[in-house]
Amino acid sequence: MVLRLMLLVMLVHGQTAAQDLHFSQFFNSPLSTNPANTGFIPSSDYRVGGHYRDQWTSIPVPYKTMSIYGDFQFMRDRFRSGWMGLGGMILQDVAGTGNLKSTKAYASLAYHQMLGSTGLLSAGFNLGYAGKQINTAKLTFDNQWNGRFFDGATPSGEIFQSSSIGYFDLQAGLNYAYFPSDNVYLHAGFSMHHLNKPKETFFVPASGYDNTISPRAIFFADAVLKLNNRVIMTPSMYYSKQAKATEFVGGMLFNYNVMGGGEQQLIGGLYFRPGDAYIPMVGYQWKNFRFMFSYDITNSPLKYFNNSRGATEMYMQYDGIYSTMYGGGRQSMCPTFTNGF
């Protein structure tokens, strides 16, 4: 049973190893999804958010992923019907028996230009530095398997160049938003990651092995539809492709206006990752703060070993409005509960 579990985990990990850090609540990680989202904040002027994801805690190779980001709008008085966005994010992932730790820090810049009164085109990029560390003493290899267990006294035969590496990373993206009325908002974007094709390996370079990180393409689309003064519906989808690895996440959220013209909202919905997990989500909006929780219910073959327990994910965000700059408040480009309530 233990060997079958190890082989299954290796198989699942092999299918996803080429992918970067990711969140089921992709819409709550705007800067990592697309740098053109930097400063694209339809209902406020700046925001700060944080993520924590705990995955596969019931099997021997748990994953923990954390992130924090912030961005804001500036130079709104320098461009005609346009503005700049500036932001940054830090992501960290810890995985596996060898405590593989990945830490990434990015700075993002974007420009947003209104197209008439109902459209907005955005372009942005981010540049960052990624560092990875691993505890090689905790790793085991195939030639150390004696038929019953891994024998640490047997030499692995692997030649590590270093237990820590680092490289610069570049991404860029485009977004388009369309808001024909106060009740409808549509948004879609495309981004490319690892444009500089950095190399990543802990081993001594060898001929015949390509250590280049494959470029990663991401497409997302979402909508905000105000059904009435009590309910707003938000469908969204996310698709990522990197080398032979792909990921799709799609679903829908509903915001229910509890009281205060939208100052307090209940949030709930369901997303899914085909062949991997169902993802129920709940949240609460209290004035400028938003809290969300999601849980990945595994429906892949891994469910037989983790009892369908996949991942817990928590998110918190704060949105702010400039009190003195640019004459105070601004017009929201997103449907809200404030109109007619």
What is the mean pLDDT for each group of 10 consecutive residues in the chain (341 residues)? 37 42 91 96 93 77 87 90 96 82 96 95 97 81 76 72 90 96 96 94 77 94 95 97 94 93 93 94 96 91 65 95 59 65 35
* CA separation for the pair 53, 151 (Å, rounded): 33
* CA separation for the pair 69, 75 (Å, rounded): 20
Domains located in the chain, CATH noted: 2-327 (2.40.160.40)
Residue type, 119: G
Q: pLDDT at position 255, please?
A: 97
Q: pLDDT at position 207, please?
A: 72
* CA separation for the pair 51, 118 (Å, rounded): 32
Please give the structure tokens belonging to residue 282.
Answer: 């709940």
The pTM for the full model equals 0.85
Residue type, 44: S
pLDDT digits (tens, 9 = 90+) for 49-69: 999 998 766 666 667 899 999
Beta bridge partners of 169: 128
Bridge-based pairing of strands 277-286 and 289-298 is: antiparallel
Q: pLDDT at position 211, please?
A: 86
CB 140 within 8 A of CB 157: no
Return the number of other C-beta atoms located less than 10 Å from residue 172's C-beta.
18
Pick from 302, 326, 320: which is nearest to 76 by CA? 326
- Find the helix or strand (DSSP H, E) in which 285 lies: strand 277-286
Q: pLDDT at position 339, please?
A: 46
pLDDT digits (tens, 9 = 90+) for 243-262: 989 999 999 999 999 987 78
Pick from 288, 309, 305, 335: which is nearest to 55 by CA? 309
Please give the structure tokens belonging to residue 213.
Answer: 């990180």
At residue 85, the 3 state secondary structure works out as strand
Pick from 308, 266, 328: which is nearest to 291 by CA? 266
Q: SS in 3 state form for 299-335? A: CCCCHHHHCCEEEEEEEEEEEECCCCHHHCCCCCCCC
